[in-house]
Chains A and B, each alone.
Chain A
Amino acid sequence: MKVGLFVPCYVDQFYPGAAIATLQLLEKLGVDVQYPSRQTCCGQPMANSGFEHLTNGCNELFIENFSGCDYIVCPSGSCVLHIKHHLHSEKNEVKAAGIRSKVYELVEFLTDVLKITNLEAKFPYKVGLHQSCHGQRGLHLSQMTELMAPAFSKPRYLLDMVSGLEIMPLDRPDECCGFGGTFCVAEEAVSVKMGKDRVADHIKNGVEYITAADLSCLMHMEGILRRQGSPLKVIHIAEILNGE
């Protein structure tokens, strides 16, 4: 099995630790991981701002980088969702369709493809699980509170394998953090308020680390926490699952 590691632009630039953890975790699980070095971005920031028509360059590059892989794995739910729904190609739509069907967010790759049942990981902290909207409502990583359907949570399933980790229940288990791509600057006031409220829920419930399968949400909440001088930290789920 040949897995292409897709590291979104902002993770590459700001959170290399999460990407390293993803790589090491997959390797630990016996996966042959390749990192195509010419990758940049999935094009989501442009598309969500209404500029999907400008993403052709990103798309072609993406296809070029990843066509040879059996799977594409990425530690960011929203980028995966974007590729799954919006990656097209004028030159080679068959290849684009292939990409769309084999791109996985890390958590779902672990639970649905590798089907792992245990992990050698330890993280003795109280953890709050942030359900990133695109991972949850878009990729269905977990059940959504709006629906009248049986509960499940893929990230939770993995976190439960980590010894010493305690998941803290939240008052609003799947409310958006307010990042929203360019929304975070275009609608600064509401975005910040949403982030503050989300963070407050974790603080109120005694959380020490907020984790998620999407770094964009974590980056947003971290920005707020650090401005508040809070001791609460954020950590990508790959870093917990890869923890010793």
Chain B
Amino acid sequence: MIAPDKDHAALANEFNKDEQRVDWHDETLWWVRQKRDNAVKKLPEWEELREAGSQIKNNVLGNLNYYLQQFETNAKANGVHVHWALDAKEHNEIVLDLLLSKGINKIVKSKSMLTEECNLNDYLLDNGVNVIDSDLGEFIVQLANEHPSHIVLPCIHKKKEEIGELFHQHLGTPSGNSDPIFLTETARQHLRETFLARKAALTGVNFAVAETGEFVVCTNEGNADMGAHLADIHIASMGIEKIIPERKHLGVFLRLLTRSATGQPITTYSSHFKKPRSGASIHIIIVDNGRSKQLGREDFRNSLKCIRCGACMNTCPVYRRSGGHSYHSAIAGPIGSILAPNLDMEKHADLPFASTLCGSCTNVCPVKIDIHDQLYKWRQVIVKNGHAPLAKNAALSVMTKILSSPVLYKVAGKLGRLTMKWVPLVVNNRFNPWYKQRELPEVPKNSFGEWYKKNRNHESKDK
């Protein structure tokens, strides 16, 4: 993925240089959150549905080994090929081998965050395979040579004028035309040729049913189906956590997923692939890439329940005002911040701190992942593993000393208040991040403790 030298705070700082753009980004995503609220309000049983979704996923985590094998057996019986990959590298090699063995050097892809995580596109390009992302949002970020900034709305950070300009440069549309209808139609015409010409299609997997060996792919655009039904070979990449036990459980998850994601009652297409059509083949790649490790982390295994709806991002006040790219990881936002440290704790040590722990994410999560509690817990783990920024370390140990000693505290408090009162420039300067855009509190003459001593200091009230 993107590996910047800058941490979330620095990238967010850059994003915030254009305040109007931040407002626009915030409003756009807040609107999606509101659509979610409206959709959810129409289901009186919403909270019970979330509970059911959560419990089914808990069951999956406890029986994953069994369900994976059950799925494999059934999928094979359906005539589907099953591959296993321990990590991103192995996943990418399997894809490449499948293509090369059929002499294919062009592939059309629909949305799959797993392939983003595995950095498949770059790998294939380096090996001479041309990849086209067919989801409109992903197609756009691909043209811009960027990565998705949101798992459901990949180019939510882009304004239509910028998209119009990209289309002008790459597809020859008239300069200055940024009408979404026109641009969508252009992409439709352009990609139709691609769909008709490609012999291989790759899709993600939303749910894989152990009981039947089928898997479900959800899209609004119909691009996963256009790719899969026109290609000779359909490769489907899935993380091990995509398994659900029975077909009837799809009822629960399909009701939860899109209401949470965009406020639609269901995606336009929820396609169940069970057997290959005659003359074509289906290959499923089941990928671990750190998931079994996360499964072993008691405090964090719940993150594997995620169904990638994106609701936690839309509701996150920090995500809305820092943009998906500030998370420098394939999956942004609150859920990304609890998944990423599992893969590389040092590189992603900043992410669990990119939150106020307000808890809104946990409340919208359709499978009830305790996201903000996990952020808190990751902070503890990261600090204990020595990945806290040095300055923070020193400042906090001084603070701890003061706050655990009543005497030191009183002295420090007095000094603090006096400093602020008499030499305001010492504290109120540009090196104090608080003071950059905020005033410090006005300093009272006395602390409450001092006031109390003066006014209530009789035996019965103070021990």
Q: Which residues of A contact B (CB under 8 A)?
A: 7, 9, 11-17, 19-20, 23, 33-41, 43, 45-58, 60-61, 68, 133-134, 137-138, 144-149, 172, 174-176, 178-195, 197, 219-220, 222-224, 226-227
Contacts and interface: CB of A to CB of B under 8 A. Distances in A.
Interface residues of B, number: 79
Contact of A178 (B356, B362, B383, B434): B356
Contact of A41 (B357, B409, B447): B409
Given A40-B402, A194-B321, 12 more contacts: A12-B449, A16-B446, A37-B406, A40-B406, A47-B376, A50-B382, A187-B354, A189-B12, A190-B318, A197-B26, A227-B437, A227-B438
Contact of A180 (B355, B416, B433): B355
Given A12-B413, A19-B448, A35-B452, A192 B9 contact: no
Contact of B363 (A43, A56, A137): A137
Interface string B44-80: 1011000000000000000000000000000000000
Nearest to A188: B433
A224 to B, nearest CB: 5
Contacts of B322: 189-190
11 contacts: A15-B441, A23-B452, A40-B406, A46-B400, A49-B396, A50-B384, A54-B397, A146-B37, A190-B354, A197-B321, A222-B439
B360 interface: yes
A53 B402 CA distance: 16
A172 B12 contact: no
B316 to A, nearest CB: 9
A45 B399 contact: yes
A48 B384 contact: no
Contacts of B453: 37
Nearest to A62: B404
B315 A146 contact: yes
A98 to B, nearest CB: 18
A57 B318 contact: no
Contact of B359 (A19, A43, A54, A138): A138
Nearest to B46: A148
Contact of B383 (A49, A176, A227): A49
B40 A37 contact: no
B13 interface: yes
Interface stretch (B81-89, B167-175, B236-244, B455-463): B455-463
Given A148-B46, A148-B47, A193-B16, A54 B448 contact: no
B447 A16 contact: yes
Nearest to B452: A35
Given A13-B416, A149-B47, A172-B30, A46 B438 contact: no
A34 B461 contact: yes
A144 B448 contact: no
- Leading 10 A-B pairs by shortest Cβ distance: A57-B404, A180-B356, A223-B438, A50-B383, A50-B379, A146-B363, A137-B359, A133-B358, A176-B358, A16-B448
Contact of B436 (A38, A47, A54, A188): A188
Contacts of B15: 189
A179 B434 CA distance: 10
A72 to B, nearest CB: 14
Contact of B380 (A13, A38, A50): A50
A1 to B, nearest CB: 14
Given A33-B461, A40-B406, A190-B318, A20 B448 contact: yes
B460 to A, nearest CB: 8
B444 interface: yes
Contacts of B364: 146
Contacts of B280: none
Contacts of A172: 30
A14 B37 contact: no
A220 B438 contact: yes
B439 A186 contact: no
B363 A147 contact: yes
A84 to B, nearest CB: 13
Contact of B451 (A20, A176, A178, A220): A20
Contacts of A16: 444, 446-448, 450-451
Contacts of A182: 353, 392
Contacts of A195: 438
Interface centre among A14, A37, A189, A226 (most CB of B within 10 A): A189
Contacts of B229: none
B343 interface: no
Contact of B360 (A12, A176, A187): A176
Contacts of B440: 223
B417 interface: yes
Contacts of B434: 184-185, 188, 223
Contacts of A11: 448
A46 B272 CA distance: 49
B388 interface: yes
Given A35-B462, A38-B406, A188 B449 contact: no
